[in-house]
Amino acid sequence: MQLQQSKPTKLDPEPGTLTIKDCPDHAHVAPNICFRSPLFGVCDQRKPLSVMDLPVATVGDKEISYSGFRLSQSDLDIFAHLIRLARERQDETGWGQCSMYEILKATGRCRGKNPRQAVMMSMKRLTASALSITFTEPKTKRRYSYFGPMVHDFLYDHEAETYRFRINTHVAELFGFGWTKIEWEQRLALKGDLAKWLHGYYASSHKKVYPVTVEKIRSLCGSGISQLKVFRARLKSAMEAIKAVGCITGWHIDDHDRVHVSFDAVPLLDQEPNPDNELPADLREYIDKVVRPKAEQAEDPEAYIAGTIRRISAQGGLNSLDLEALQRASSTLEASPSKPGPAAAPPKVANETLPPASPGNDTPLPPGDVPQAWITAREAIKEQLSDSVFNLWIEPLVAREAGNRIVLYGPDRFFCSWVADKYLPTIQTALTRANSESVKISFSVMGDIE
């Protein structure tokens, strides 16, 4: 993510098109106050459904508060995508247009219980909100308070399943307090409001992040968990999640209950490559041969590449799956003819459960045929998931047959557990249809291949 600071501007009294200066095109962006306050907080059943005059931020002489339904991180997904669509597609009157399917796909909501209703509820909450900006008029020194919704209004076509909407143009004023470019693929890969809130919080911070207490984080994110030890346990899981997607490279909680994070050895997106601090040779080769071709199909190619560098830096270098992909890419580029050898036996798997992962035990995947059922199933899965989700969680899987089942191999234990938790029903359905009968599926880690 990229942090940009600019001076606040005056409120434009006339509504019109949404214009945000100095923001990159074709990217998801949002004001920093969306990430560093309970405005889009961690919602749970312990909190009331609505709030009145919730303090959001104080910047200079301006005070920002919120009244309305509590907004979640899912609402922020919708809001950030609507801002992008408004900047790209709005007409001269400020109306933007998109389809329901487009929102579902862009925000990763294609799966779940009644996703269309969930999007409609988010749109209603954003329209029913009341954001207050209290400020001093420079000439008269009089205090004013502006009240308005985040989404001004919208029109839904039930037959065509399309939206026409208008973002409140005064949202641009919030960008004057600083904004953040969102690494969308990372955000979609996270599960749960707390992990998404932390992802935005640390990405919208200054380059030097000061440690904050667990209690302070609980207050900022608006969590309703009263027992600090319970919140601390959930915080630890969420910190591991944002580390896994590459937002940070390390974290710990000290004896004073303060959370420290590190971004060591992670190139910043707003910096040009430094020839005096080049990437290792094997990583440069992997980026050029494996990552860049895939990045061309991603929503934000540079963010996709930077996210990959973060992941590899965090894991300490290329793992066996990365090396296998590099070997395949090198062979394809060299296009050297070779005689096909006999197919190796499928890898032996000890059991169906994920064994404990231990560092340094990665073994290259032995050669073998990819099951035809998996090839067919992958194409069906690709049609159901967004490109970013498919490339991040399904594309890296390597399939092998083991008796009467299919074993899916991932780079590490967390990766396999995440895929099994979120996408196993989708994979099971696609494989069953491709194989014309029920298929047993198990997951394993590359380093656990015998």
Rounded percentage of the chain residues whose pLDDT exceeds 90:
23
* Residues in Cβ contact with 274 at an 8 Å cutoff, skipping those fewer than 6 apart: none
Cα(357)–Cα(429) distance, rounded to whole angstroms? Answer: 28
Residue 337 in this model has a pLDDT that exceeds 90: no
Listed ranges 319-328, 342-351, 426-435; the one with the highest mean pLDDT: 426-435
Q: Extract the tokens encoding 119.
A: 């999007």
Q: Are 88 and 41 in contact (CB under 8 A)?
A: no
pLDDT in tens, 291-334: 887 766 655 566 667 667 766 765 566 766 677 778 777 777 66
Listed ranges 66-80, 83-97, 298-312, 344-358; the one with the highest mean pLDDT: 66-80
- Secondary-structure percent of the chain, ordered helix, strand, coil, rounded to 5: 40, 20, 40
Please give the torsion angle defined by the CA atoms of residues 422, 424, 429 and 432, in that order, rounded to the nearest 10 degrees: 170
* Residues in Cβ contact with 331 at an 8 Å cutoff, skipping those fewer than 6 apart: none
Mean pLDDT of the 265-285 span:
51
Rounded percentage of the chain residues whose pLDDT exceeds 70:
75
CATH of 372-448, one of 3.40.228.10, 3.40.640.10, 3.30.300.180, 3.40.1190.20: 3.30.300.180
- Does the pTM of the predicted model rise above 0.85? no
pLDDT band, very low/low/confident/very high, at 279 (cuts 50, 70, 90): low
pLDDT band, very low/low/confident/very high, at 12 (cuts 50, 70, 90): very low
Count CB atoms within 10 A of the CB of residue 328: 12
Residue 213 in this model has a pLDDT that exceeds 80: yes
Q: Which H or E run includes 445?
A: strand 440-445
Cα(147)–Cα(152) distance, rounded to whole angstroms? Answer: 12
pLDDT in the model for residue 297: 61
* Residues in Cβ contact with 58 at an 8 Å cutoff, skipping those fewer than 6 apart: 64
pLDDT in tens, 350-377: 333 343 333 333 434 444 677 888 888 9
pLDDT in the model for residue 345: 40
Mean pLDDT of the 424-431 span:
88
The CA-based angle 109-238-297, given to 5 degrees, is 45
Helix (H, G, I), strand (E, B) or coil at 419: helix
Residue 17 in this model has a pLDDT that exceeds 50: yes
Listed ranges 20-24, 56-60, 213-217; the one with the highest mean pLDDT: 213-217
Cα(148)–Cα(132) distance, rounded to whole angstroms? Answer: 7
Question: CATH 3.30.300.180 occupies which residues in the chain?
Answer: 372-448
